[in-house]
Amino acid sequence: MTRRTAILTSLRLANSFLSAQISSTRSLYPQVTRFSPTSVSHRSHFLDFKSTHPLLFFSSKPHSLLQFVLANDWSQDLENELETLNPTLTHETVVYVLKRLDKEPQKASGFFNWACGKNGFTQSSSIYSILLRIFVQNESMKQFWITLRVMKERGFYLDEETYLTMLGILRRAKKAADATALTHFYNRMLQENAMDSVVQKVVNIVLGSEWSSDVAENLEGLGIVLSDNFVIRALKELRNFPLKALSFFHWVGCRLDFDHNTVTYNAIARVLGRDDSIEAFWGVVDEMKNAGHEIDIDTYIKISRQFQRSKMMGEAVKLYELMMDGPYRPSLQDCSVLLRSISASDNPDLSLVFRVAKKYEATGYSLSKAIYDGIHRSLTSAGKFDEAENIVKSMRNAGYEPDNVTYSQLVFGLCKARRLEEACKLLDEMEAEGCIPDIKTWTILIQGHCTTNEVDKALVCFAKMIERNCDPDADLLDVLIDGFLGQRKLDGAYQLLIELVNKAHLRPWQATYKQLIEKLLEVRKLEEAITLLRLMKKQNYPPFSEPFVLYISKFGTVEDAADFLKVLSSKEYPSVSAYLHVFNSFFNEGRCSEAKDLLFKCPHHIRKHSEVCKLFGSAESKSTDATKSSSKPLEVGT
């Protein structure tokens, strides 16, 4: 049986569990008004985008420096040329260049080492953090460890956020030894850093009461030796109390022995960039600009992402406009991410979309395919299909042909507007235009049907997809499972997954397995749930035991528990902890007899294990009823 035939067979089996009858001969598409990006309305667009625009290069020093470094391999000749150019190396400039060298660790290292020897450049913990993230992401571990050691020797601090980010990268890359060594380094650094105790005293004083002259006097009494590192550390500890952090920041700025600089201004900006301190944030931004400092690009990215996560899209756009008017402009990718975030809301604010696009274009860039797609995504999501059509026309005039991304956005918008027949028809039009729908386009179409409870029609689309030689993946299976479950067709969902795994060799997401197992156990379909557990084990997913243990302890038999334990491990027997978990659950449900019966079915090494003996001995002493309920003597360890 071919893969395609197997999938179609699976579809028929799963479909039999749906109450709706699907005719294979009737047309899916009634007569509808034709909509296509190629049929362009000639009415005026409410925003006239230029179809062509010359690409202008920045004349500002940071960009010129970046372009020069990007265009050449790092060498002594390059360093000599840089010496001739003699660029101004501010904190913001170095951050700007390093952020754009995030995929080129050798060049980043060369540039940083060269910058360190220049007058006027002051190193900081934030710049070291950027450099460390570059090295760890590109698996340049020798440079990573050298930089970490140098950072510590020069008195700079590895903050918790950077540490956790790098630890996650190392673990995902399965670099267990490096991850362990990094943890040891970080913990040792905390223990050896005498600054910690002083920072904690400052934090306790600031948080102890509302800001007042008494608080300021108490801080003065500590005799603090202020430095950039110290201020950054204190601000990070106060980050959950942004207005108190700002009071501390202003107190530091009034000290005669310390002047705020770009490093400390960027640090307080990161703390204030949130909903409950947004007015203070913009006040500090104005203050730092008046003092001749700029938001560095790393700070911008972090604050912008925070605004986007908090759905503060207006603030994110305002910040984007501010940065685009300055010397450290966000990248095309940053712009695309912002447009995507705006489009992700249920009701995209189109005025924000066009503010971003206009600012991008006004600074000398021509609209790229990614920017056109970003505009188009919001328009289709908002149901503004005529305007979306005009954007596609402008995009064509600029030399960019619609592709799967463009069509997929339109399919999503049509499905969201419940214009499902038009969405289906659009895939035929795609092929006529020479753009073959990919798995993502099909998934969006099928998900659109499932979301509107049109699961029968979703299966028709699925069958059509298979006939066109497009194989399903785990994302699409998850969408279909959700669709079945949304119509309470649990058997259909189970059958579809089983068939696609066994016959089409699909590997579902772990989350898909978990969701279906939980639903099966809710209706006491233990056998089917254990079948899925076997499939998970076969596909090397970690054991998903908790819902089984809870179910078996309440409703299951001793035989159910024994069967479950056999499936749980890849070895002959599961671990002692697995047995203990089941025993404890039986005891917690008051089913001591079943716990004992299961014990006598266990292998000898489990029965004699000290923890098992201790558990049953404790249960025996607490409940004489449990002993009387069994005619067998409790002989653990024999």
Q: Name the DSSP class of 172.
A: H
- Per-residue pLDDT, 622: 57
Q: Name the DSSP class of 39.
A: S
More confident residue, 571 or 132: 132
- Per-residue pLDDT, 43: 33
Q: What is the mean pLDDT of residues 221-247?
A: 92
| Max intra-chain CA distance, the chain | 95
**What are the tens digits of pLDDT across the range 68-83?**
899 988 999 988 888 8
Domain boundary among 141, 172, 192: 192
Q: What is the mean pLDDT of residues 587-594?
A: 90
Q: How many of the other CB atoms lie within 10 Å of CB of 363? A: 13
Does the structure show a pLDDT above 80 at 205?
A: yes
Range of weakest confidence among 11-25, 76-90, 360-374: 11-25
Domain boundary among 192, 211, 232: 192
> For residue 107, what pLDDT band results from cuts at 50, 70 and 90?
very high
Q: What is the mean pLDDT of the chain?
A: 86
Contacts of 418 (CB under 8 A, 6+ apart): 452
Q: How many of the other CB atoms lie within 10 Å of CB of 467? A: 11
- Per-residue pLDDT, 185: 93
- Per-residue pLDDT, 137: 93
Does the structure show a pLDDT above 50 at 27?
A: no
| Residue 457 domain-assigned (yes or no) | no
- The string over 140-162, giving b where at least 16 C-beta atoms fall within 10 Å of a residue's C-beta and e elsewhere, is bbebbbebbeebbeeebbbbeeb
| Residue 634 domain-assigned (yes or no) | no
| Residue 158 domain-assigned (yes or no) | yes
Does the structure show a pLDDT above 70 at 22?
A: no
Q: What is the mean pLDDT of residues 440-446?
A: 96
Domain boundary among 192, 217, 252: 192
| Residue 462 domain-assigned (yes or no) | no
* Whole-number Å distance between alpha carbons of 294 and 330: 13
177, burial (CB in 10 Å: exposed 0-12, middle 13-18, buried 19+): exposed
Range of weakest confidence among 42-51, 320-329, 435-444: 42-51
| Residue 149 domain-assigned (yes or no) | yes
CATH of the domain at 131: 1.25.40.10
Q: What is the mean pLDDT of residues 459-466?
A: 94
- Per-residue pLDDT, 229: 87
User: Can you tell me whether residue 34 is helix, strand or coil?
Assistant: coil
Question: From residue 325, how far is each of 21, 314, 321, 361 by CA, in Å?
Answer: 60, 17, 6, 12
**What are the tens digits of pLDDT across the range 468-507?**
999 999 999 999 999 999 999 999 999 999 999 998 889 9
| Residue 596 domain-assigned (yes or no) | yes
Does the structure show a pLDDT above 80 at 204?
A: yes
More confident residue, 8 or 612: 612
Domain count of the chain? 2
* Whole-number Å distance between alpha carbons of 123 and 356: 33
**What are the tens digits of pLDDT across the range 321-360?**
999 999 999 999 999 999 999 999 989 999 999 999 999 9
Instruction: Identify whether the C-beta of residue 631 lies closer than 8 Å to the C-beta of residue 597.
Output: no
First-residue to last-residue Cα distance in the chain:
53
| Residue 263 domain-assigned (yes or no) | no
Question: From residue 558, how far is each of 46, 445, 522, 607, 624 by CA, in Å?
Answer: 71, 46, 19, 16, 21
Range of weakest confidence among 56-65, 246-255, 315-324: 56-65
User: Can you tell me whether residue 599 is helix, strand or coil?
Assistant: helix
> For residue 156, what pLDDT band results from cuts at 50, 70 and 90?
confident
Q: Which two tokens stand for residue 302?
A: 């972090």
Kindly write down the DSSP assignment for every residue of 328-372, as one continuous string.
SPPPHHHHHHHHHHHHTSSS--HHHHHHHHHHHHHTTPPPPHHHH
* Whole-number Å distance between alpha carbons of 310 and 322: 19
- Per-residue pLDDT, 616: 84
Closest CA to 248 of 261, 228, 270, 231: 231
| Residue 264 domain-assigned (yes or no) | no
Helix H or strand E encompassing 330: none
Q: Which two tokens stand for residue 131?
A: 């450099």
102: domain range? Answer: 61-192
User: Can you tell me whether residue 515 is helix, strand or coil?
Assistant: helix
Across 52-66, 154-168, 396-410, 590-604, the highest mean pLDDT is recorded for 396-410
- Per-residue pLDDT, 444: 96
Instruction: Identify whether the C-beta of residue 425 lies closer than 8 Å to the C-beta of residue 29.
Output: yes
* Whole-number Å distance between alpha carbons of 585 and 582: 5
